[in-house]
Amino acid sequence: MSSLRIALGLFAGLVCGVLLHWLPASLAGWIWTLLEPVGTLWLNALRMTVLPLVVALLVAGIGRSTETAGASRLALRALRVFILLLAVGAVLGAVLSVGFLALWPVAPEAAAALRAAASGATAVPELPPLRDWLVSVIPANPFEAAAAGAVLPLVVFAVLLGLAAGRIDTAHRNVLLGFFEALSEALFKLVHGVLWAAPLGVFALALGVGRNGGLDAAGAIGQYLLLASGLSVVLTLLLYPVAVTVGGLGWRQFARAAAPAQVVAISTQSSLASLPAMLTGMAGLQPARPDAAVVLPLAVSLFRMTSPLVNMGIVLFVAHVHGVAIGPGAMLAGLVLAVVTSWSVVGLPSQVTFFNTTVPMSLAMGVPTGILPLLLAVEVIPDLFRTVGNVTADLVATAVVTRRGSSPPVNTL
């Protein structure tokens, strides 16, 4: 299984990084020089698929709807549900993280080792001024936004282009949308190839963690892994009663619809790769919900419920390691940004968008960012649980949006 290979790569990288301290300095330096670029190359391979894939999926999915006006109303209803669930996730992440760190604080020596390990970490990108960030949501030049790696402006452009494509004549619409559909299929193949190489990339990233921080830093990171993974597990479990009480589904009906997509999510770490299984699961619901074919691609592209949830945990963990107290104002700013920045991420492994979401929150909350690259190196483990949570949340949100006041099924068991 892919997840097992990735976990082995993570463990091997941490161990080998610690063992580098026991080798002669010249030999250890040569090994590090040789392997360090591997992790960077793997991350770059992930990043290069993000922008074209999200644009292709959004344009094709929205453009294929036969009733543009109806699709617009459905999209607005979906966006309202997405925002509400994201806000709930952000608050839940803050509450659970504060409680976790109060019950199990990071040991002082482990925190010191992690701070020392961060001294050699790669610098993270700086947050642009708030005014510039807000203005950039509507891209003056979509190609410039693509070159700058700005995901959110491209999402806005793709949504508008998809709506416009639904209004042109059939012949031209089929040509345009056929191109984007073929592009998305080819990119899916590329994504699977990059994920196949994940164990090697994770090994190289984890090697740096073990090399810089030693065993104490590894212990603190293990505590972080438990927090970040546990948040997604709790969320996934809570989503089941939401699917029943708000989505109008039966317990067994929702479990049967969600299970195949959850298995794909674990094995691929990709919400996008889980989309076919999600569509199949929703297609088997009784009564049928045909609007799910429009809502699900939108959810996969724009809605990641675990993003504000887990990112609040990440920033609060880093604040705890540095001894930074978070006041009410800083907490509120973090909650707002947790929801807002989640719109700039897509259904690929969170290594791709880790900095895009955590850096703005950290800067707004007054939390140092030096540790973030080290946490990125082990993000592959929490991302397994993130992806399962996101896929489950996509299905629940789709059930809520497409319910349209229908009563729950007779057999709720």
Are 291 and 401 within 8 A, CB to CB? yes
Q: Which CATH class is domain 2-403?
A: mainly alpha
pTM of the model: 0.67
Whole-number pLDDT of residue 67? 41
pLDDT of res. 239: 95
Name the token pair of 286. Answer: 């009784």
Question: What is the reported pLDDT for 125?
Answer: 47
Alpha carbon separation from 271 to 268, 302, 303, 326, 366 (Å, rounded): 8, 11, 10, 32, 32
Query: Tell me, what's the pLDDT at 66?
Result: 43
User: Which pair of structure tokens corresponds to residue 403?
Assistant: 């319910």
* Residues of the chain scoring pLDDT < 50: 1, 66-69, 119-125, 347, 405-413
Predicted local confidence at residue 47, as pLDDT: 62
Q: Please give the pLDDT value at position 110.
A: 77
Place of tokens 């990440």: 314
- Residue in the structure block whose two tokens are 């948040």: 231
Q: Domain boundaries in the chain? A: 2-403
pLDDT tens per residue, range 45-86: 766 776 687 678 778 767 765 444 455 677 778 888 998 999
Best CA proximity match to 249, nearest among 67, 399, 91, 89? 399
